[in-house]
Amino acid sequence: MASKDSLKKIALKGLVAALLPLTMGSAWAADAPAMTDEEKATAKQIYFERCAGCHGVLRKGATGKNLEPHWDKTLPDGTKTSGGTLKLGTDRLSKIIAYGTEGGMVNYDDILTKEEIDLMARYIQHTPDVPPEFSLKDMKDSWKLIVPVSERPTKQMNNINLKNVFAVTLRDAGKLALIDGDTHKIWKILDTGYAVHISRLSASGRYVYTVGRDGLTTIIDMWFEEPTTVATVRLGSDARSVDTSKFKGFEDKYLIGGTYWPPQYSIMDGETLEPIKVVSTRGQTVDGEYHPEPRVASIVASHIKPEWVVNVKETGQIMLVDYTDIKNLKTTTIESAKFLHDGGWDASKRYFMVAANASNKVAAVDTQTGKLAALVDTAKIPHPGRGANFNHPKFGPVWATGHLGDAVVSLISTASDDPAHAQYKEHNWKVVEQLKMPGAGNLFVKTHPKSTHLWADVPMNPERDLAQAVYVYDLKDLSKEPTRLDVAKDSGLPESKAIRRATHPEYNEAGDEVWISLWGGKTDQSAIVVYDDKTLKLKKVITDPAIVTPTGKFNVFNTMQDIY
């Protein structure tokens, strides 16, 4: 959900229609609260910016609850049940929006005005509109090649250590900050799509690819004296993921992008973003039911094969897409569990670990055999980001995930069938330990091969003191309580009405610094707070009026190599 100022700015930039072009004349629930056309238009925009990611464009739910006016479903035991936003009513919905839930929904009373909260409580009692499709032709019409490959530098034209650059999302500003990790100085701030979800790097580390929630994808060339956007394309009206082709012989040849709406993925030229192919993900769920909105969540590039791992949220299907022959595309479809979200590689980079978060499971995909290795039961709503790999003193190699809905960090054994880890094989693909957190609402965990610490945030917790802090575990002694770091206090920024949420720990190239985003309100000062990983002492506060709502940060080297 978004502030009035952000809505005005987006409208002035001419993005309102492009961000979520909705068909007109759709049916509205007859007994829903009255709304004017102007109120509906404002609410649609807020819903897109703040709600659709978890609840879906059609509001059928995934990470978040179903928000249709009325729904019926049959439980596994055969019991029929029903519900819906109309049943909850405006007053109850307003309280949920304002104060959040224990299941991981953040409170919006410090983000939205009372009037906007009431507006959204009424809006979600109406039948959602169905957005239009977005074809290959639509993509081609949106494509802009700003600087042809022939006009780009043939060598690096600056003295920046590109491997230690951080690509930082400035969420509500629709921008990306590139920050020099060696000097802690802002190198360049560039326009991107709204609320960039991730940044990915080319195999060479030259290009930064971003994808915004409005579907706009950009490619930034860091070989220029100053970073330069060289091409853009729109994938659809709502997107989350991109990655390049990484396998030897295909370095940066292709880029793949996944959309929430329409439910599909697209393949583009890796250096120009020229659209090549669009593939729909609509189809049957792992339960055998048709779903109209199976969104593409995370996409990663395999290090051992010319394949992408494409995770389809609502169907629970994991697709291994072979990019050696785009014209005659070969895809292996693996059944796992519904509501696939984000994930990362285990330390061997053979197994991809992805959270089926509303099913409270993590799927382990063996990309070498092209089969599901395991479905691991976890605590409520796992949300690993990319997760974290380290060697447990008792259980050997593990991969960690935090949880939106439970106050623990789960450690899953990834010993697999590696002879070097034979002594740990009995624990393989099991949760071997749960580290206690002070509350639910974790989004990201992170460590580094050179570190003895595991960092965890809780930005989605409704308690200010928790959301503004991070927690650091000692990997040499996991029985110890984690060290609490009050990031908001350490930043030196004055207290604000909005909670400044500490989120997304990210290591530098050397593995001796951890950068935390302090994500404040759009009108409040925000910051990147840097800690020494060995001492856990404050090292630097990077703040500037241009640092608006910073969220994800991606170190070039660690992102290229999938180090976490």
Residue numbers annotated as active site:
51, 54-55, 105, 341, 383
Beta bridge partners of 346: none
Q: Where are the beta strands (DSSP E) in 18-137?
A: 71-74, 80-83
Please state whether the peptide bond connecting residue 128 to the residue before it is cis, i.e. omega within 30 degrees of 0: no
Q: Which residues have a Cβ under 8 Å from the Cβ of 109 and sit 6 or more positions away? A: 98, 99, 117
Q: What is the CA radius of gyration of the chain?
A: 22
Nearest to 205 by CA among 562, 558, 557, 554: 557
Cα separation of 140 and 143, whole Å? 5
Q: In the 3-class helix/strand/coil scheme, how is 488-539 assigned residue by residue?
A: HHHHCCCCCCCCCEEEEEEECCCCCEEEEEEECCCCCCCEEEEEECCCCCEE
Q: Which residues contact 276 (CB under 8 A, 6 or more apart)?
A: 254, 266, 267, 268, 269, 326
Which amino acid belongs to residue 491? S
Distances (CA, A) of 410 to 43, 197, 366, 377: 37, 24, 20, 10
The DSSP result for 10-32, as a single string, is HHHTT-HHHHS---SS----TTS
Q: What are phi and psi of 505, to 5 degrees?
A: -60, 135
